[in-house]
Amino acid sequence: MDQKLLLVGCGKMGGALLAGWLGRDVSKENVVVVEPFGGDALREQFGVTVLETLDDLKADFLPEIVVFAVKPQAMDDIVPLYARFVQPETMFLSIAAGKPSSYFAELLGDGAAIVRSMPNTPAAVGRGITVAFGNDAVSEKQKSIATSLLEAVGEVGWVNDEGLIDGVTAVSGSGPAYVFLMIECMAKAGVEVGLDPALAEQLARATVAGSGELARLSEESASTLRENVTSPGGTTAAALEVLMTDDGLQELMSRAVAAAEKRSRELAS
């Protein structure tokens, strides 16, 4: 990728993206970061130009990609500053939760090519998944570029209906917290049956991590993988009889995802 890229914000997610891009041979000379905090540390870590404010940007640096990686509550003050870069060749990519493409169009102008994306925190270790939506101004070439940028931290999917981003947020955006809670619960249950707390934590973490990697690499469905572990009348079957009752794990997960999806819609409006 030889396009000039302007990264606005370089916190945990912005930093993960930047590390992924540079790891894919994106030229450091083509990347400028606008980040008011920790500029020296970022320069040392990544070897790219880091500016405290947009006012410090050289006049001859005209980005073809602008990535907004700042907190949603800061967008009102930050996004309008970048309206000067709006042109058909420039794509604006947001990773901010709860901000629809119409929000950016209002601040940047109706002609802005805007990609709204929803990554999740495993992006920090290159195992994230991001789902994106592009408005009508986004070209196929720009969509391809956005895919390449987001693939630097994991898998990428697209939706044609922006309203589905709320469901994506509820499943994958918030999903890591559900998995971490499962680790907590498994470890606590292990302690309750007599295991040392440190060992119970280790067992829970390793089991979830290993099972996730097995699911990622396997071509079999999750239900088949579950069945492969379950011997009739065995210990796993006894546990699943509890988890798979009518008011068991599926009911709880469906209610949790529905609550998160509802809240995402509320935040977007």
Structure-token pair, residue 261? 């999806």
- End-to-end distance of the chain based on CA atoms, in angstroms? 35
Ordered by where they begin, the domains of the chain are: 5-160 (3.40.50.720), 173-268 (1.10.3730.10)
In this predicted model, what pLDDT tens digit does every residue of 31-85 receive, in sequence order?
A: 999 999 888 999 999 999 999 999 999 999 999 999 999 988 899 999 999 999 9
**Amino acid at site 68:** F
| Alpha-helix runs per DSSP H in the chain | 12-23, 39-46, 75-78, 101-108, 140-150, 165-168, 175-192, 197-217, 222-229, 235-243, 249-268
Report the mean per-residue pLDDT for the chain. Answer: 95
Tokens representing residue 62 in the block: 């005209």
- Alpha-carbon gap, residue 145 to 139, rounded angstroms: 10
pTM (2 decimals)?
0.90
Rounded Cα distance between 55 and 83, Å, is 14
3-state secondary structure of 126: coil
pLDDT tens for each residue of 160-174: 999 999 999 999 999
pLDDT 10s digits, 230-266: 999 999 999 999 999 999 999 999 999 999 999 998 8
Query: Which pLDDT score is estimated for 157?
Result: 98
- Give yes or no for a contact between 49 and 32, defined as CB atoms under 8 angstroms apart: yes
Cα 142 to Cα 69: distance, rounded to the nearest angstrom = 18
Residue 96 has pLDDT above 90, yes or no: no
Answer yes or no: is pLDDT of 1 > 80: no
Mean pLDDT score, 178-189: 98
